[in-house]
Amino acid sequence: MTLINKSKLRYNFGINNTDLQSVKCFIQGAVYCWIKNRKDEIFAARDLMGGENFDWSRTPLYCLYEKHINNGKDNESAIDEAGKDLGWILKSVLDEDKRSFETSDKGMTKGYRWIGNET
């Protein structure tokens, strides 16, 4: 399926394809877990990978942070930029998924909700 409301997608995240595939798989697992436990709730990248899940060390997401550190960003900027990358990658994961998702712009970040209309 795909995102119901079409919008801009990004494809170049400045990491190698192996890392990108690992990040996408990790994100997709988090999305499926969210759907199982909070089916009708809107989620954003920060809901999946923020809060209690803020420490990305020893996860596939760490390469996003490292990319920005290696490009000369300070810790705070690298965290902020890695979070933005995560949001764009999440969007692409949902667009490539077999399920359908709708978007929401009600919060400070783009939100998504599984609509569950697959046949």
Q: Give residue-wise pLDDT tens across range 19-65.
A: 999 999 999 999 999 999 998 899 999 999 998 988 999 999 999 99
Tens-place pLDDT, residues 73-113: 999 999 999 999 999 999 999 999 999 899 888 766 789 99
Cβ(64)–Cβ(85) under 8 Å? yes
Instruction: Give domain status of residue 6, yes or no.
Output: no
- DSSP class of residue 52? G
pTM across the whole model: 0.90
| CA 67/CA 82 separation, integer angstroms | 8
What domain range includes position 65?
A: 17-114
Please state the domain count of the chain: 1
* pLDDT-derived band at 118, boundaries 50, 70, 90: low
Task: Return the pLDDT at 39.
Answer: 86
User: Does residue 27 lie within any of the structural domains?
Assistant: yes
Q: For residue 12, tell me if it sits in a domain.
A: no
- Residue 36: count of CB within 10 angstroms of its CB: 8
Q: Is 2 within the bounds of a domain?
A: no
Tell me whether residue 109 is in a domain: yes
**Does residue 4 belong to any structural domain of this protein?**
no
Residues 6+ apart with CB under 8 A from 45: 83, 86, 87, 90, 109
Q: Is residue 57 part of a domain?
A: yes
